[in-house]
């Protein structure tokens, strides 16, 4: 029997093998570890406690969930700041991959973007001065002729005021803080905004001068938006919401940022 001839790899073969192994390792690393293609998340950080800025950092319910999403997908999360009315345009242009900024699902928005499964049920609530509880403590007083109602521009609260409170005198504000200043100064009687905002303000011991009327004025679903045609990312978001709803992660995040919630049926 002839001895078995052992053929040693040439230097060129070794280089090709090393290159192939390096590419394989790089592909695995980029798919499993944060640091590959970034997940660009569009936010309008003026909606505490859902998404806002604190000491230069984007924080809140949706930023916490966005970071969990990045870990789940193995992608580094980058928050891109926009005004509320710029978010959908930024998504359509491809400036961001997903909008996670307290968006309510509306028919108008559904013509422009794809919404994932809602992660939270919400709606509009009214906030008043605690000193005016006897005068304005009932929802029907919102509809009094001459009632002064404030809202944030570009929100579903604006639509509610325009369609349902036609007898009221309405005032638009650029952000929540401007509306609250006007409410405290007595220039408006009510400030209408999303439930998470009112829950947090009215439940804050430092803001006992304000009182929330805990009867939802609208029925809304908060969800994350992706570009039309990006069914792959939409499916990944749907899977994340389903799993986090089952294991309680979403509820835990919401409870962290809204420690007190009141539901009135």
What integer is the mean pLDDT of 76-87?
95
Taking all residues of the chain, what is their mean pLDDT, rounded to a whole number?
A: 87
Residue 99 has pLDDT above 60, yes or no: yes
Q: Which residue in the block uniquely carries the two structure tokens 């209408």? A: 192
Confidence of residue 205 (pLDDT cuts 50, 70, 90): confident
Question: What are the φ and ψ backbone dihedral angles of 154, each rounded to 5 degrees?
Answer: 80, 10
Residue 104 has pLDDT above 50, yes or no: yes
Q: Which two tokens stand for residue 243?
A: 């799993």
Confidence of residue 27 (pLDDT cuts 50, 70, 90): very low
pTM of the shown model: 0.75
Residue 8 has pLDDT above 90, yes or no: no
Instruction: Encode 43-74: b = buried (16+ Cβ within 10 Å), e = exposed.
Output: bbbbbbbbbbbeeeebbbbbbbbbbbbbeebb
Q: Which two tokens stand for residue 148?
A: 């002064």
3.30.2090.10, 3.40.50.2300, 3.40.50.10540, 3.40.190.10: which CATH number matches 39-121+221-257?
3.40.190.10
Q: For 211-258, how does the pLDDT look when each residue is reduced to its tens digit (9 = 90+)?
A: 999 899 999 999 999 999 999 999 999 999 999 999 999 999 999 998
* pLDDT in the model for residue 262: 52
The reply to whether CATH 3.40.190.10 applies to domain 124-213 is yes
* pLDDT in the model for residue 58: 97
Both ends of the chain: CA-CA distance in Å? 91
* pLDDT in the model for residue 128: 96
Tell me, yes or no, if the two domains 39-121+221-257 and 124-213 fold the same way.
Answer: yes
* pLDDT in the model for residue 212: 93
Q: For 114-154, how does the pLDDT look when each residue is reduced to its tens digit (9 = 90+)?
A: 999 999 999 999 999 999 999 999 989 998 898 999 999 98
């Amino acid at each position: 029997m002839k001895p078995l001839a052992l053929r040693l790899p040439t230097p060129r073969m070794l280089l090709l093998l090393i290159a192939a192994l390096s590419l394989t390792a790089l592909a695995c690393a980029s798919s499993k570890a944060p640091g590959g293609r970034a997940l660009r998340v569009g936010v309008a950080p003026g909606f505490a406690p859902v998404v806002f800025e604190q000491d230069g950092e984007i924080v809140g319910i949706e930023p916490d969930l966005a970071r969990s999403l990045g870990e789940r997908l193995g992608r580094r999360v980058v928050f891109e700041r926009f005004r509320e009315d710029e978010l959908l345009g930024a998504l359509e242009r491809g400036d961001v991959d997903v909008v996670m900024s307290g968006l309510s699902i509306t028919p108008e928005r559904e013509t422009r973007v794809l919404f994932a499964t809602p992660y939270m049920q919400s709606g509009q609530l009214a906030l008043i001065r605690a000193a005016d509880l006897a005068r304005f403590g009932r929802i029907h007083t919102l509809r009094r002729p001459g009632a002064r109602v404030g809202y944030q521009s570009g929100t579903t609260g604006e639509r509610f005021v325009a369609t349902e409170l036609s007898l009221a005198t309405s005032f638009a504000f650029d952000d929540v803080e401007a509306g609250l200043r006007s409410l405290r100064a007595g220039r408006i009687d009510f400030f209408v905004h999303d439930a998470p905002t009112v829950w947090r303000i009215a439940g804050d011991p430092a803001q006992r001068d304000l009182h929330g009327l805990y009867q939802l004025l609208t029925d809304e679903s908060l969800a994350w938006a992706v570009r039309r045609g990006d069914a792959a990312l939409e499916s990944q978001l749907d899977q994340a919401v389903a799993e986090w709803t089952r294991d309680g992660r979403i509820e835990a995040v919401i409870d962290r940022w809204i420690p007190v919630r009141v539901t009135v049926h």
